[in-house]
Amino acid sequence: MKEPVTVVVVTFNSAEDIGACLESILRNGCVPVIVDNGSTDQTHDIVHRVSPDCSIVNNPLNGYARAINLGVAKCDSEILVLSNADVIYPDGSIAQMAAYLKDNPKVGLLGPQQVYPDGSWQRSWGFTPGLKEAYLELLGITTVYGELRRLTWPKRLSRRPSKVGYLDGASLGVRRTVFEVAGGFDEEFPFYGEDSDFCLRVRSAGLQVMSYPGVSVVHRRGASTTRAGMSSSRYAKLLIQANRRLVLKRHGERYYAHFLRVKRLFNWHSAKLFGFIAALLPEARRQRFTQKAELHSEYARQLAEEISEPNNEPFRGSICSGRVTEESKRT
């Protein structure tokens, strides 16, 4: 009998999504482990209604990285899937991911292609964060490449697995042994960046990080995080905190300062562009571009502050491991 795959799902006020996510996991014959970051809605009730025997681990200190570490500590399976609560797994998708990991021992981390509920392409991986990635973004190459992928996705031109810099953390397939060798998720990341950091450490261990577009999952992006309803100011602050730790963990302050300047230039130009587009559109179609302009403008403003008065908190720990609290290890 095959060992079932365990799916660790992190929830936070996920009542709108956890039911469908959990049902899809159970249909795939997998074992769910729910880690809840202090939900105050009906998340717990829905979990117990859909799966009365499902384990729920409470994470009172909050934080996605810590939640993942707590969940993995509760797992016995060798093959794991780390998941947001707003992901739905089509029948057979998890089995395909597990089979690929078993057949390819050099692959340490596997990410399916994420799609929106309407089936359209969604960004599921990216270039390794750093100066190269920042310049590709500034020059528009990242945007053009993403748009080409979006347009060609329905034509199914290429569904072959490929090595990537990092995978979006909404859905990750990993062997438990790899998770432990890489040191788990770094709990010093408050929000965002922990997936990029983990991918870099998996690669540092000599293993491949692979995008697997032959398998697709439905992801209602943003529903499982505090991004929903979060102010542009708060969102930008969290991104800067994540980038600060991610870059300083591997590079010096001069590199980080250069990185900040490139990022600021990109966001300043993006704010101007989206504002210009919004001004040309009728009011009914203007809101999306206005919101993008506001977010990029706020991000550029805070990046300028970070450049003038850097908040370079001392880095603790090794670049080859995450910071896992003793409580996470014991749980």
pLDDT digits (tens, 9 = 90+) for 247-272: 998 898 999 999 999 999 999 999 99
C-alpha to C-alpha distance for 87 and 172, rounded to whole angstroms: 11
How many Cα atoms occupy the beta-carbon half-sphere of 301 within 13 Å? 14
Structural domain includes residue 319: no
171 shares its domain with 284 = no
Query: Could you tell me the pLDDT band of residue 63, with boundaries at 50, 70 and 90?
Result: confident
- What does the pLDDT look like over 42-59, one tens digit per residue? 999 999 999 999 989 999
CATH of the domain at 57: 3.90.550.10
Specify whether the CB–CB gap between 213 and 168 falls below 8 A: no
DSSP 103-121: H-TTEEEEEEEEE-TTS-B
The per-residue pLDDT of the chain, averaged, comes to 88
DSSP secondary structure letter of residue 212 = E
Among the residue ranges 67-76, 135-144, 172-181, 314-323, the one predicted with the least confidence is 314-323
Structural domain includes residue 325: no
Q: Which pLDDT score is estimated for 313?
A: 54
What number is the average pLDDT over the span 3-14?
93
Specify whether the CB–CB gap between 6 and 75 falls below 8 A: yes
- H or E element that contains 296: helix 287-308
Terminal CA-CA length for the chain: 28
Q: Which pLDDT score is estimated for 129?
A: 85
Structural domain includes residue 324: no
Among the residue ranges 24-28, 174-178, 192-196, 223-227, the one predicted with the least confidence is 223-227
Whether 189 has a pLDDT exceeding 90, the answer reads no
Whether 24 has a pLDDT exceeding 80, the answer reads yes
C-alpha to C-alpha distance for 133 and 126, rounded to whole angstroms: 9
Q: Which pLDDT score is estimated for 329?
A: 45
Structural domain includes residue 81: yes
Q: For the chain, how many structural domains are there in total?
A: 2
Structural domain includes residue 315: no
Bridge partner list, 79: 175
159 shares its domain with 256 = no
Q: Which pLDDT score is estimated for 157?
A: 67
90 shares its domain with 182 = yes
Q: How far is CA 23 from CA 35, 50, 86, in A?
A: 16, 7, 12
Whether 323 has a pLDDT exceeding 70, the answer reads no
Q: Residues 6 or more apart from 44 whose CB is under 8 A from it?
A: 36, 56
282 shares its domain with 237 = yes
Give percent of the chain with pLDDT exceeding 70.
89
* Residue among 72, 95, 270 nearest 181 (CA): 72
Q: Residues 6 or more apart from 226 whose CB is under 8 A from it?
A: 12, 191
76: left (phi over 0), alpha (psi -120 to 50) or beta: alpha
Query: Could you tell me the pLDDT band of residue 226, with boundaries at 50, 70 and 90?
Result: very low
Structural domain includes residue 87: yes
Structural domain containing residue 247: 232-307
C-alpha to C-alpha distance for 145 and 142, rounded to whole angstroms: 5
